[in-house]
């Protein structure tokens, strides 16, 4: 195990993309085996030290930002243990937590398979993506990470290794009662209603839920994920993609509704229109992108990036279907881009990925922190949510961009303040957006997780009783409240339950 005790040797573990600052961290432990993970946690329990689990720091909400104590980094748990392929082309990857998402995608790809979750940032660790229940563009078709995790090995705060296979341990209603090693665990899962939309806010809750789902999305507050078994799908024979530019946002929104409806009707088909991804850029996003990609048309007030699986036989007719629907919805079809080659597909992906990176560059150049939402609302309220964004932002002095996973009615609204005053004003507006979204039955975090940045909003979403229920679950695994302190659950709730 590597142990770093000098702050200047571990500076790279003290940040993520939230802009939050770490506290007075004593050391970073980098275990190479599950036993070493267990040793670190036992030592921390004995000495009552706070432990923060670190993936690769691509998180946006400060989950890995340690308030003090020690950091347990998963970098050296970086082995792919096996990848197997079944006769039907599906497969299973068994990997350690510190394996890069990129490595899983590339290795699965070599064997003719894909790992369906595709959170844009491929430098995330698999452990981090499971801890945050990450999603990304392809979640429109495949859902979040949760759907693709078959089993987990987790080292609990007392150092015990817990192995969970999906389907083996389930709650009766909300009551869990199971044994692992020498211990019996008995507790109630939270029973707050979770919105029936894409959601990564708080501990998972559902009647008769699977234990594995409690740990997926628990953001490093219940245990250290050390190993996971992931489901793989056959690699599509062909995928084509396009970027469609629209002269007005309302045409674009009509188009999205049409495509979303057709895709749900044609679920799993490669013969009919069935988008894998459906992503949105608003006019402001396109202005950002135009600075780097001059081909971005001036006239566009918004754009949609899409991907569609096909076969050699269906490619032409599907392309025609997409083209005709875009035409019917008055897209700027002559200025829109349809990929003819895999190189163009790659370019479109790069275009899609460039936006968050360009925004981050802008922020660090100007030394400002963004205010960034991860709100999703039910489809029936989506247009109302868009009009609320416009009411507050159009004509304001703010610089902003709205982009993201429109197929899931989930967009990232980013306010990019020029100074502290604007930051404070932006926060007030952001609060109003949260309130409106919650009234509509939406979520404060559809994919990035709550981390430390959004703790107060989680309380708005589930109420004090919801947070108290989470704290009671945490107390069952982490009786001293040492793990992931400051993430998800406010301090006052922890002290009540320890």
Residues that bind ligand FAD (CB under 6 A): 16-17, 52-60, 63-64, 74, 97, 119-121, 124-125, 127-129, 131-132, 134-136, 219-220, 224-225, 356-357, 447-448, 451, 484, 487
8 Å CB contact between 486 and 69: no
Which lies closer to ligand FAD via its Cβ, residue 318 or residue 455? 455
CB of 351 to ligand FAD, least distance (A): 14
Q: In terms of CB distance, is 71 or 326 closer to ligand FAD?
A: 71
Give 270 or 374: the residue with its C-beta nearer to ligand FAD.
374
Q: How far is CA 369 from CA 140, 361, 363, 456, in A?
A: 29, 11, 6, 18
Min dist. Cβ of residue 481 to ligand FAD (A):
15
Length of the chain measured in residues: 498
For ligand FAD, which is the closer residue by CB, 300 or 483? 483
Residue 203 makes CB contacts below 8 A (sequence gap 6+) with 189, 190, 214, 217, 218, 470, 473, 488
Instruction: Closer to ligand FAD by CB, 364 or 419: give it.
Output: 364
Q: Give least dist CB 228 to ligand FAD, A.
A: 9
| Residues 6+ away with beta carbon under 8 Å from 224 | 37, 41, 53, 72, 74, 97, 154, 155, 483
Between residues 228 and 273, which has the closer beta carbon with respect to ligand FAD? 228
Question: How many angstroms separate the CA atoms of 220 and 484, rounded?
Answer: 6
Q: From the CB of 412, what's the least distance to ligand FAD, in Å?
A: 9
Checking phi first, is residue 336 left (phi over 0); if not, alpha (psi -120 to 50) or beta? beta
Tokens of 194: 């979770």
C-alpha distances out from residue 205 to 111, 175, 219, 454, 472, Å: 35, 11, 15, 19, 14
Neighbours of 313 (CB within 10 A): 12
Toward ligand FAD, which CB reaches closer, 216 or 244?
216
Residue 399 exposure: Cα atoms within 13 Å on the Cβ side: 14
* Dihedral class, residue 146 (left if φ above 0, else alpha if ψ from -120 to 50, else beta): alpha
Three-state DSSP class for 366? helix
In angstroms, give the least distance from the CB of 327 to ligand FAD.
Answer: 29
Task: Rank residues 60 and 270 by Cβ distance to ligand FAD and give the closer one.
Answer: 60
Q: In what helix (H) or strand (E) does residue 92 lie, and over which residues does it extend? A: strand 91-96
Question: Min. distance of Cβ 50 from ligand FAD in angstroms?
Answer: 12
In the chain, how long is the greatest CA-to-CA distance?
67
Q: CB of residue 403 vs ligand FAD: minimum separation in angstroms?
A: 10
Q: How far is the CB of 137 from ligand FAD (least distance, A)?
A: 6
Nearer to ligand FAD, 392 or 410 (CB): 410
Q: Which residue's structure tokens are 């309380």?
A: 459
Of 226, 225, 223, residue with least CA distance to 44: 223
Distance CA 242, CA 254 (A): 18
Smallest distance, ligand FAD to C-beta of residue 119, A: 3
Instruction: Identify which of residues 223 and 273 has a Cβ nearer to ligand FAD in the complex.
Output: 223
Cα distance between residue 417 and residue 331, in whole Å: 32
Bridge partners, residue 415, by sequence: 371, 400
The smaller minimum CB distance to ligand FAD, of residues 326 and 355, is found at 355
The nearest distance, CB 207 to ligand FAD, in angstroms, is: 25
Return the number of the residue (123 or 269) whose C-beta is nearest ligand FAD: 123
Minimum CB distance to ligand FAD, residue 109 (Å): 19
Secondary structure (DSSP) of 33-56? SHHHHHHHHHHHHHHT--EEEESS
User: CA–CA separation, 246 vs 335, rounded Å?
Assistant: 9
Least CB distance to ligand FAD at residue 177 (A): 24
């Amino acid at each position: 195990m590597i142990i770093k005790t000098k702050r200047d040797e571990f500076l790279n573990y003290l940040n993520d993309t939230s802009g939050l600052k770490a506290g007075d961290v004593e050391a970073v432990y980098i275990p190479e085996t599950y036993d070493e993970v267990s040793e670190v946690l036992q030592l921390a329990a004995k000495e009552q030290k706070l432990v923060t689990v670190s993936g690769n720091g691509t998180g946006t909400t400060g989950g890995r930002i340690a308030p003090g104590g020690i950091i347990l980094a998963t970098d050296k748990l970086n082995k792919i243990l096996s990848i197997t392929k079944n006769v039907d082309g599906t497969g299973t990857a068994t990997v350690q937590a510190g394996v890069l998402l990129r490595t899983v995608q590339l290795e699965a790809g070599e064997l003719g398979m894909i790992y369906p979750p595709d959170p844009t940032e491929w430098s995330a660790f698999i452990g981090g993506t499971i801890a945050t229940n990450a999603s990304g563009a392809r979640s429109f078709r495949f859902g979040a990470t949760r759907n693709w995790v078959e089993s987990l090995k987790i080292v609990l705060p007392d150092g015990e290794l817990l192995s969970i296979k999906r389907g083996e341990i389930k709650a009766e209603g909300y009551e869990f009662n199971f044994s692992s090693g020498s211990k019996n665990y008995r507790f109630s899962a939270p029973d707050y209603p979770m919105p029936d939309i894409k959601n990564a806010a708080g501990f998972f809750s559902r009647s008769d839920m699977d234990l594995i789902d409690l740990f997926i999305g628990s953001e490093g507050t219940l245990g250290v994920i050390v190993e996971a078994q992931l489901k793989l799908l056959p690699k599509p024979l062909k995928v084509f993609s396009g970027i469609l530019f629209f002269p007005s946002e309302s045409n674009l929104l009509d188009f999205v509704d049409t495509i979303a409806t057709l895709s749900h009707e044609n679920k799993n088909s490669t013969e009919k229109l069935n988008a894998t991804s459906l992503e949105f850029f608003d006019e402001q996003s396109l202005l950002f992108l135009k600075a780097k990609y001059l081909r971005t048309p001036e006239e566009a007030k918004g754009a949609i990036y899409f991907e569609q699986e096909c076969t050699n036989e269906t490619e032409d007719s599907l392309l025609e279907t997409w083209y005709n629907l875009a035409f019917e919805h008055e897209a700027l079809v002559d200025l829109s881009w349809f990929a003819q080659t895999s190189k163009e597909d790659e370019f479109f992906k790069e275009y899609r990925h460039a936006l968050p990176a360009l925004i981050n560059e802008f922020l660090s150049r100007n030394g400002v922190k963004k205010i960034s939402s991860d709100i999703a609302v039910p489809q029936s309220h989506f247009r109302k949510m868009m009009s609320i964004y416009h009411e507050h932002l159009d004509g304001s002095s703010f610089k902003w961009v709205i982009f993201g996973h429109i197929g899931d009615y989930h967009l990232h609204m980013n306010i990019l303040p020029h100074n502290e005053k604007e930051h404070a004003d932006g926060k007030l507006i952001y609060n109003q957006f949260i309130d409106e979204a919650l009234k509509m039955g939406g979520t404060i975090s559809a994919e990035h997780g709550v981390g430390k940045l959004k703790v107060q909003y989680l309380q708005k979403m589930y109420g004090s009783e919801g947070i108290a229920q989470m704290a009671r679950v945490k107390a069952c695994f982490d009786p001293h409240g040492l793990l992931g302190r400051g993430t998800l659950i406010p301090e006052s709730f922890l002290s009540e339950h320890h």
